[in-house]
Structure 1
Amino acid sequence: MFTHHDVELLKKALSERYSNFIQIIVDQSGLTRNTVSKFFNFKKVRPSNQEIIYTLGKNLLEENVIRRNSLKKEVRNLAQGEIEEGKQASLNLSRHL
């Protein structure tokens, strides 16, 4: 169902973002750790289980990207707020001089 390349790509992306992605997928899927590990080690797993594991892995990546983008946006907004506050404080100070 999924090629070696498909699984390798997912495994690499997940391992770069999560130190415990196999356990997360085990917890979310109800599948055994052995089944999930087999999938990521390119061993034979039932097609229905492959789909479950692959889908949950993809969902983890999506959640990570959404969370990361949201965090970046929040930091940009906070930083911009500090810049705006700094400009306003500078303007207020120059009015008093």
Structure 2
Amino acid sequence: MYTKKDFKAQVDLLYHYYREPIKLLMDQSGLAKPTVWRFLKGEKLRTYNQDKLIECVICLNEKAIAKRKSLRDRGNKVIQLELDLLKSKKINKGIHKI
């Protein structure tokens, strides 16, 4: 299924994107804090709990990445609109001087 390297990369991303990943995983999975904590430390869990938690981790990471991409795209759009506005103001100033 997942190697330890894949697992560690996903958990590291989770901690990178979220301030309280344990609480998020508890809410999303419906599992208790000790179970989530053992999962994040890499300890053994029942297979169905482990599957549920890794699915939640991947889902949360995908949401965070999509949100970041959306924010970056929106920021680039605003910058482009400002540049277009500045260009049009320069053109309009040039027209008024003639």
TM-score range (shorter-chain normalised) is: over 0.9
**TM-score, normalised relative to structure 2:** 0.92
Q: Over the residues paired in the alignment, what is the CA RMSD in angstroms?
A: 1.2
Give secondary structure in 1 for the equivalent of 2:16: helix
Alignment of 1:38-53 (within 5 A): 38-53=38-53
Moved over 2 A (4+): 1-7
- Gaps (5+ residues) in structure 2? none
The one-letter code sitting in structure 1 at the alignment partner of 2:92 is: N
- Gaps (5+ residues) in structure 1? none
Percent identity reads 29
Match in the other structure for 1:30:
30
Q: CA deviation at 1:11?
A: 1.4
Q: CA deviation at 1:3?
A: 3.5
Match in the other structure for 1:55:
55
**Larger mean Cα displacement after TM superposition, 59-68 or 13-22:** 13-22
Deviations 1:55-77 (A, max 9, x none): 00001110011000000000111
Count of matched residue pairs: 97
Question: 2-side partners of 1:40 and 1:7: how far apart?
Answer: 9
Deviations 1:36-65 (A, max 9, x none): 110111212110000110000001110011
Question: 1-side partners of 2:2 and 2:33: how far apart?
Answer: 19
**TM-score, normalised relative to structure 1:** 0.93
**Larger mean Cα displacement after TM superposition, 73-82 or 36-45:** 36-45
